[in-house]
Structure formats: structure tokens, C-alpha cells
Amino acid sequence: MAKQPTIERSENYGYYSDLLWCAVPLTGMAWYYYGLRPVLLMLAALLTAYLCDCALAPLHGESYRSHEPSSECFAALIVLMMPASISYGIVITAVIAAVLVKEAFGGEGHYPFHPAAVGVAIAGVSWPERVYYYPAAGTQLPLFGEVNVNLVQGMNETLRSGGLPSASTINLLTGNVSAGIGTGAALVILACGLFLLVRGRVRPSVLIPFMIAVVGIPWLFPHLNELPVFSWPWEYVRQRIYLEKYTLLSGTALFGAFFLICEPVTMPNRTSSRLIYGTALGIATYAFRRLSSYQSAVCFALLIVGAIPEWLDLISHRTERIRFMKKEEQRLAKSTKPE
């Protein structure tokens, strides 16, 4: 693959740096609820990513560039989607997998799949009982060793079975729930998302169709035991609102919307392609949340939909070219038409 232009690389560096800054308040919230263990997990992941990059980058014939923070960014995202009780070994394994995916396809700017999504998916499939079970908020965890506390499944499991979680809105907003290190505090995620949006790191052409699909499908086809199999969208409004609240504020949908789906290397380049890409991601995220037991549905959606961005750009380019040629033919026909 061709290397990215210098200007585009510079923009990507800014994207990864901004995401790393956003990881600070999310890790701080986890520190408040669980003690220092989430901070040490984050430091271990960042160090692992740095060392892996140092070891693997020279394989591409280039010396390591310390100002290129994508590997560290992917490591931070992996930790933020993990429970605070996760072992250091699983985090390190997931980070190594993410960096290997990045370097295997040529390093920065060349990988076809989101490396952080790959790392989380591998860890989730390999150790589901560790990755998808969470300690209660407020539990002070030991810094090292096994965590011998009661762990519970995420709220997505309740939604998948047709029920509604019992967490209050204020707890969902402040992160006082059993969730991943960085996926529980919705208010902090929204603040970070606003920062990224102002900085131009989040693309509305991807974000808006993704959110419409994530919110719209449960509204049109609510999966609730207390509702009939079929109902019109204007019926049972109260139940649908409750369902939407937990759909947005639990799991990784909101986190993924701001931190994952607008990764500059894996998303399409054209606006029309991004609209389709965001919609497909939203549909796939709903499908994984509805049909699988995995809490990180958006990560699996990224792995599936990540195969089509270049194809979408190619189709869009050909469509625009055909339209241009037709306009030129019409213009020439008019100019050569006898008076």
C-alpha cells in the first residue's frame, strides 16, 4: 500500500493524541470507583504498546518514531473497554495482538481493521468469563493478583434476555454501575465526545447514521418481554424510552460512537461512503448486542463492517465519474446542436 501523505499523517497523530487525553478523565473515574488498579492496568498497557512498537517498527525499514502514538492509543482504548478486575496478562495479550495487527499490514496508516477492536475481540472470545464480568462500582480492588470479589454480567445481558436493567439514570450518567473501566460514566464520555467533535476528530457523517441505527432499530423493533411481538412505533412509548436509555447508556455503544468508529485509517474517505459505513456499523452493533452475549458489540461490528470502506469509496468514485461523464456528454451535445 502507498504511504499516507505527510499532512494526513499529522492529522492522524492529532487524533490519537486527543483520544489519549480523553482517556485521562475516564481512567480517573475508574480510580475513584475501584482504586489504583485501573491506573496500573493503563500504565501496563501503554508500556506494552510502546515496547512492541519499538521492537516491530524497524521491520518496516524505518526507525521508531516516538511521536507516533497510535499503538498507545489502541492500548488505552482496550483498557477502557475492560473490567477493572481484568488480569494484567489478558490486557498485555490484547495489546500485543492489537499492535501485531497494526504492524502486520504495514504499520501506521495501513491496517484494514481497527487494532483495538481486534484486541478486545480476541480477549473476549478467549476469556469471556474474565472480560465480560464486572465488579460492582465502589469495590476497592487489589493492585496485583487475582480479584476475589463478586463479578456480574454487564447490563447488555439483561437487555438481550428482554428485560430492563435496574440501574438509575444518575448512576448511568456518573458511572456508578458494573461496566468497563471507561464505558460506564456517560457524562464523561459525552464531554469527551464533545471535545473530539469540536476538534474535528469525530465525523458527523459517520456518527449521525450510526446513532440513528443504534437508537432507531430498538424503537421500531423493541425486544421487551412486557411488550407484544408486534406494536406500532407510537405505542408503549414509556417502555420504549426506558429501553433507549439503557441502549445508549449501557455497554459500549456510546463509547464506540466517539472513540472507535471514526478511526481515520479504517473509515471511508468519501462522505457518501461514510453515511453507508455508519449505518452499517449501527445495524451490526444492534445485531451483536441482540443476538450475542458479547458486551463489546461495537468491536465485533467494526471487524465485520471494516471489510467494506475501500469498496464503498471505489463505488462512490465510479458513480461520481459516471455522473461527470454524463454531464459532459450533455454539455457537448448542447454545444454542437445546430441553431
The predicted model gives 231-258 an average pLDDT of 87
CB 278 within 8 A of CB 261: yes
**Residue predicted with more confidence, 251 or 313:** 251
pLDDT of 328 strictly over 90: no
Please give the residue that has the higher pLDDT: either 189 or 142: 189
Give the whole-angstrom CA distance, residue 128 versus residue 179. Answer: 14
- Mean pLDDT (the chain, rounded): 83
Judge whether 180 and 83 are in contact, CB under 8 Å: yes
Q: How many distinct helices (H) and strands (E) make up the chain? A: 15, 2
pLDDT band at 333 (very low <50, low <70, confident <90, very high): low
Amino acid at 37: R
Q: Specify the CATH architecture of the domain 6-307.
A: Orthogonal Bundle (1.10)
What integer pLDDT is reported at residue 2 of this predicted model?
37
H/E element holding 268? none
d(CA 77, CA 302): 14
DSSP states along 180-211: -TTTS-HHHHHHHHHHHHHTT-S-HHHHHHHH
pLDDT (average), residues 98-113: 78
Q: What is the pLDDT of residue 323?
A: 55
Phi, psi of 81 (to 5 degrees): -95, 0
pLDDT (average), residues 142-170: 83
Residue ranges of the alpha helices (H) in 57-136?
Answer: 70-80, 88-104, 115-126, 128-131
What was the pLDDT predicted at 7? 42
- Kindly state the DSSP code that residue 59 receives in the 8-state scheme: G
CA angle 236, 239, 240 (to 5 degrees): 85
Q: What angle do CA 197, 305, 217 make, to 5 degrees?
A: 75
| Measured distance CA(250)–CA(15) in Å, rounded | 25
pLDDT category of residue 44 using cuts at 50, 70 and 90: very high
CA distances from 183 to 318, 319, 333 (A): 39, 39, 59
Per-residue pLDDT band at 94 (split at 50, 70, 90):
very high
Cell numbers for 2, please give them. 502507498
Instruction: Report the pLDDT value the prediction gives residue 88, as an integer from 0 to 100.
Output: 92
pLDDT band at 140 (very low <50, low <70, confident <90, very high): confident
Q: Which of 299, 71, 215 is nearest to 207 (CA)?
A: 215
pLDDT at 109 over 70: no
| Predicted model pTM | 0.86
First CA to last CA across the chain, in angstroms?
52
State how far the Cα of 294 lies from the Cα of 122, in Å rounded to an integer: 12
Answer with the residue of higher pLDDT: 106 or 139: 139
Residue 117: what are its φ and ψ, rounded to 5°?
A: -65, -40
Reported as a single tens digit per residue, the pLDDT across 293-305 is 778 888 999 988 8
Least confident of 40-49, 82-91, 217-226: 217-226
Using a 10 angstrom Cβ sphere, with 0-12 exposed, 13-18 middle and 19 or more buried, the burial of residue 253 is buried
How confident is the model at residue 339, as a pLDDT?
Answer: 53
| Total length of the chain | 339
| The residue to which cell 471487524 is assigned | 303
- Residue 12: the pLDDT is 77
CA distance 337 to 339: 7
C-alpha cell at 64: 521508531
**Residue of 293, 226, 251, 225 whose CA lies nearest to 167:** 251
- Place 39 in a pLDDT band, splitting at 50, 70 and 90: very high
pLDDT at residue 120, as a whole number: 93
At 53-79, the pLDDT tens digits run 888 766 665 554 555 788 899 999 999
Long-range contacts, stretch 236-243, CB < 8 angstroms, 24+ apart: 242/164, 243/159, 243/164, 243/218, 243/219
Position 41 scores a pLDDT of 95
